[in-house]
Structure 1
Amino acid sequence: MKEKSYTELMKIAAMKRNRMKENFVQDLYIDMLLSEIQLTVEKEKLMRKIDLAIDRRDKKSFLHLSSKLKEINKKFGT
């Protein structure tokens, strides 16, 4: 079995660290994308419910749903 030199071992270790950093960043992007999709879907559902409450002239539901939408927008800065 051929032993690797110190330089080769250091290069291998550096490459592993770089791969780990790249994987971390990629995982972070994926997490952000999934969160954005989830937020968008939830907001769309609320908007449909708000529209339905308006169509039915249901003030109580409208106010409740609108406050939930405001909370989401405030929480996520949108």
Structure 2
Amino acid sequence: MNEKSYTELMKIGAMKRQRRENFVQELYIDMLLSEIQLTVEKEKLLKKIDCAIDHRDKKDFYFLSKQLIEINKRFGT
């Protein structure tokens, strides 16, 4: 005798859809923020690499290049 009415079932279905939509939306926002953070980090690093090249600083250039490789791995490129 624990049967639910059509209206109750529709409400439950709507709530489940809303939760799924919220989850997807949060996932998308998280991915977008991560990409923005990595892009900003990569741009700063590229500027530092350019500066190291301009100053002919091999030590910094190699160090920063290794960091760039790691960022590219995080980017998936």
Tell me if both proteins adopt one fold, taking TM over 0.5 as the criterion: yes
Q: Which moved more, 1:5-14 or 1:58-67?
A: 5-14
Deviation beyond 2 Å, 4+ runs, structure 1 = none
Identity %: 61
Q: Which runs of 5+ in 2 are unaligned?
A: none
Residue number in structure 1 paired with 2:21:
22
Mapped to 1, the partners of 2:53 and 2:61 lie a distance apart of: 7
SS at match of 1:40: helix
Once the two structures are TM-superposed, the CA of residue 56 in structure 1 deviates from its matched residue by 0.5
Whose RCO is larger (CA < 8 A, sep 6+)? 2
Q: Which amino acid aligns with 1:60?
A: K
Give the TM-score, by structure 1 length.
Answer: 0.90
Q: Which runs of 5+ in 1 are unaligned?
A: none
Matches within 5 A, 1:1-78: 6-78=5-77
Mapped to 1, the partners of 2:30 and 2:74 lie a distance apart of: 17
Alignment: residue pair count? 74
Q: Which amino acid aligns with 2:41?
A: E
